Chains A and B, each alone.
Chain A
Amino acid sequence: MEVTEAVRTRGLSKTFGRQVAVGGVDLVVPRGGFAGLVGPNGAGKTTTLSMVTGLLRPDGGSVHIGGADVWRDQVAVKARIGVLPEGLRLFERLSGRELLSYNGQLRGIPKAEVERRAGELLNVMDLTGSADKLVVDYSTGMRKKIGLAAALLHNPDVLFLDEPFEGVDPVSANTLVEVLRRYTASGSTVVFSSHVMDLVERLCDWVSVMDRGRIVAQGPLDEVRAGRSLNEAFLGLVGARGDGGPAGGEGLSWLGATPS
């Protein structure tokens, strides 16, 4: 059977104490290209991505990646996905080059091949000059780039990135986008969460909108935004709080005023 979906979850849910972080999510991502997962803070994007990538055990529901169950068929799934979780948690006391070769060796790629790929990735990511510095001394942009390089090293089919552009300078963001474009050009899939609507609009052909632990809209970009900009559509979907004209007509009258 030909599987046309890269990712499919059914009724995925997770509760922390009394708080329902994810309440029955049916996430669908078609194969190939960029898919964006957008939603306000606390919508459950990170929790969903953690469960999809096998880093957090769901309370209920199922996750399939390329037709394989994430929690039952771990060997097949883990060889097939690349992950960059939130928070840039990396091996701080390895150098960038060592981090890449550690990842490659963990996955059983021959040493010579790991070194060749690592060299090329460092080069493309513009990290060759800092390859032998410890990751603990890297800036945010450099950390995102080395994290992405580590996630790409074993050439996965599907790449999951949690807020890959957060806190990244425009130059590094551009490098990240270029590398990802090359990666998807051959039919691979990138799923990423983001707050930056312009970027999602520019890159993605597929968007899933989350709010309060649920998917509130999902589909091809043009269908979701329905003639508006994605930002307007998004604010409409999540029911933007405080919609009443210019912010704070009552207070803040002193702000920006020019007395005397």
Chain B
Amino acid sequence: MAGSDPLVSAGTVRVGPMVFVRLKLRLIAGNLRGSTQRLLGFVFTTIAALLFGTFGFLSMVTLRLAPADVALESVTVLLTVFLVGWAVVPLLAFGLDDTLDPSRLALFPLRTGQLVTGMFAASVTGVWPLASLAVTAGAVAALATGIGGMLLGAVVVLLHFALCVMLSRLVTTSLSGILRTRRGRDVLAVSAVLFILVAQLPNLLLNGGLSADPRAMLHALASALSWTPSGVAARSIADGGLMAVAGAALLALLIAGAGWLWIAALRRALVTPDASTQGASVRNSRGLLAGVLPDGPLAAVVSKEFKYARRDPRGRVGWFAAIAVTGVMAFSMYGDGGAVGGTFAIAPACIGALMISVQWCNVFGIDGRSLWMNAVAYGTDRDWRTDLAGRHLAVATIALPLLLLLAAVAALLAGDILWGVPATLTAWGVLGVGLGVGALTSVLVPYTVPERLNAFTGAAPGQGGIAFVSSFGVLIGTGLLALPIVLPVLLGLTWVSVLAVPYGLLVSWGGRRVAGKIAFGRYPALLEASSMAT
């Protein structure tokens, strides 16, 4: 019987945490093999982490020069940022990483305790964890007094770091069941964008001059955070006496609690099945526009595009990003307060149209690996042109009202709602130009949009440069081609805006016509470029 092999012990094996550390290092190394681009990326992140660690540590040290209460408050806020960052960032950046997905380890004869220490050790391995430990250690230099204080401070720092790691594991493990389902990953993909925007918020507030006194803000923030684990840790380091001992004990208790929860989550995650095929039904809606359009390929493509804009996280992220970027840019234009006049009504609307166009510089990307279904049905360049027209029609149906709204709001803020009329017309024209240029980039420099989005890449490995060329092609091409209609309007010849829409229609029609011919000629290359392995 194979199970009773004398060389394989019947019970559990002695597997120390070092095995997991080596496994993680080997996975990192294996991931780099054979790809110069990934190797460069790794070198770059390593340098970034080293710089982050060094400068973080040094700036913590310089906090010592600040008044004691400011130093304490700053450290409180920084430690809290670290704690939250550890909980959230790995989730958004990687989804689940191979080393640490417990389901991959479920088949090995390991006790939960071994898994816990092993995965803890694996989490600590890496340049970013070490860099963040270095910065946290700076808190001792910033706050601690006396040798005893230093030593206690070091203990507290280590405990805080351990709490960060433990919390991060707890969050990933307890969500791993959800993250392995399709729906969970969809939600995560969209929330990655939200997170990036929220991270931009303080920046915007500072730029907008809305902040009162930074000292007062820091004080309010720190006092709100003073009873969080990070706040306790900061005060313990500063105190160095009995308070520090109590703080350390509290942190240790929290670690034990988080560890216990983690073990429970891990036990459950190991035996929870993959629930990805138990999806719910979707509404079989036809959509208003698809009902109006004559039956045929155009209506099919339009209604498919609407469904993808709604159901595919990439579709939602695309629209969300276009709107958010426009909002941020428009908002920062009003930052100075002196934004009155036609320019400030027209420019945001046109920028909005440009941003929406850039999102569609690769219209076939969202179909990706399924694009062959269209290719086996299309026998002429006219079919490809109809396909492009369907995609443009779907984009325009969502974008035109949005641009109208944007132009109206911008005109109101600029002082005269009437400015909204030329602003809307010009923006619609720019959108037409952008879609026409986008049709060309879509067939000339197509690239694969990965199905699993993360916050950092928009193309398959090795195609980042193509994606860059594509979006900048649309940005520059649209900018140049739109000049004849935008420039006169901005210079005060508002009547030119009447010509914007016909001009935009003409350019988009021309773009589709040329792109349709090109697509028909080189659709096998198009299929290959947009369905690469990601």
Contact = CB atoms under 8 A, between A and B. Distances in A.
Interface string A12-24: 0000000000000
Nearest to A58: B524
Nearest to B297: A106
Interface string A96-138: 0110011101111011000000000000000000001110111
A95 B282 contact: yes
Contacts of B284: 95, 97-98, 132
Interface residues of A, number: 47
Contacts of A260: 4, 6
A78 B377 contact: yes
B111 interface: no
B311 A134 contact: yes
B280 interface: yes
Interface string B358-375: 000000000101101111
A32 B182 CA distance: 42
A186 interface: no
B287 to A, nearest CB: 11
A11 interface: no
Interface string B292-328: 0001110111011001100110000000000000000
Contacts of A81: 376
B296 A108 contact: yes
B113 interface: no
A111 B376 contact: no
A21 B2 CA distance: 42
Contacts of B308: 93
Contact of A136 (B182, B304, B373, B379): B182
Interface stretch (A83-91, A168-176, A202-210, A231-239): A83-91
Contact of B378 (A78, A97, A259): A78
B277 interface: yes
A78 B373 contact: no
Contacts of B297: 105-108
A247 to B, nearest CB: 17
B527 interface: yes
B276 interface: yes
A95 B311 CA distance: 11
B9 interface: no
Contacts of B10: none
A56 B277 contact: no
B5 to A, nearest CB: 7
B36 interface: no
B279 interface: yes
A259 B5 contact: yes
B367 A78 contact: no
A139 interface: yes
Contacts of B367: 91
Contacts of B277: 137-139
A78 B379 contact: yes
A133 B280 contact: yes
Interface in B39-62: none
A150 B300 CA distance: 14
A105 B295 contact: yes
B278 interface: yes
Which among B279, B374, B451, B525 has the highest number of chain A CB atoms within 10 Å? B279
B380 interface: yes
Contacts of A92: 312, 370, 451
A89 B182 contact: no
Contacts of A101: 300
B376 A134 contact: no
A258 interface: yes
B524 A89 contact: no
Interface string B513-534: 0000000000011011001000
B281 interface: yes
Contacts of A137: 182, 276-279
Nearest to A74: B379
B242 interface: no
A92 B313 CA distance: 12
B311 A106 contact: no
Contact of B307 (A98, A107, A138, A139): A98
B372 A55 contact: yes
B307 A111 contact: no
Nearest to B7: A254
B1 interface: yes
Contacts of A53: 376
A91 B379 contact: no
A214 B528 CA distance: 24
A217 interface: no
A79 B379 contact: yes
Nearest to B368: A89
A106 to B, nearest CB: 4
A232 to B, nearest CB: 31
A106 B300 contact: yes
Contact of A55 (B6, B280, B451, B524): B524
B47 to A, nearest CB: 33
A90 B370 contact: yes
B524 A56 contact: yes
B439 to A, nearest CB: 19
Nearest to A135: B370
A94 interface: yes
Contacts of A87: 369
Contacts of B373: 90-91, 102-103, 106, 150
Given A134-B282, A137-B182, A107 B377 contact: yes
Nearest to A57: B524
B372 A93 contact: no
A164 B399 CA distance: 41
A255 B1 CA distance: 10
A256 interface: yes
A133 B372 contact: no
A102 B300 contact: yes
A54 B307 contact: no
Nearest to B314: A93
24 contacts: A53-B376, A55-B372, A55-B375, A55-B524, A55-B527, A74-B379, A74-B380, A76-B379, A78-B376, A79-B379, A87-B369, A90-B370, A90-B373, A91-B370, A92-B312, A92-B370, A94-B307, A95-B282, A97-B284, A98-B284, A105-B295, A107-B297, A136-B279, A256-B2
Interface of B: 1-2, 4-6, 182, 276-282, 284, 295-297, 299-301, 303-304, 307-308, 311-312, 367, 369-370, 372-380, 451, 524-525, 527-528, 531
Given A83-B372, A107-B377, A132-B282, 17 more contacts: A55-B527, A57-B524, A83-B376, A91-B373, A92-B312, A93-B307, A93-B308, A95-B281, A98-B307, A106-B378, A108-B296, A108-B297, A133-B281, A134-B279, A137-B277, A137-B278, A260-B4
Kindly list the 6 A-B residue pairs having the minimum CB-CB distance in the complex, ordered from nearest: A137-B279, A75-B379, A105-B300, A89-B369, A74-B379, A132-B281
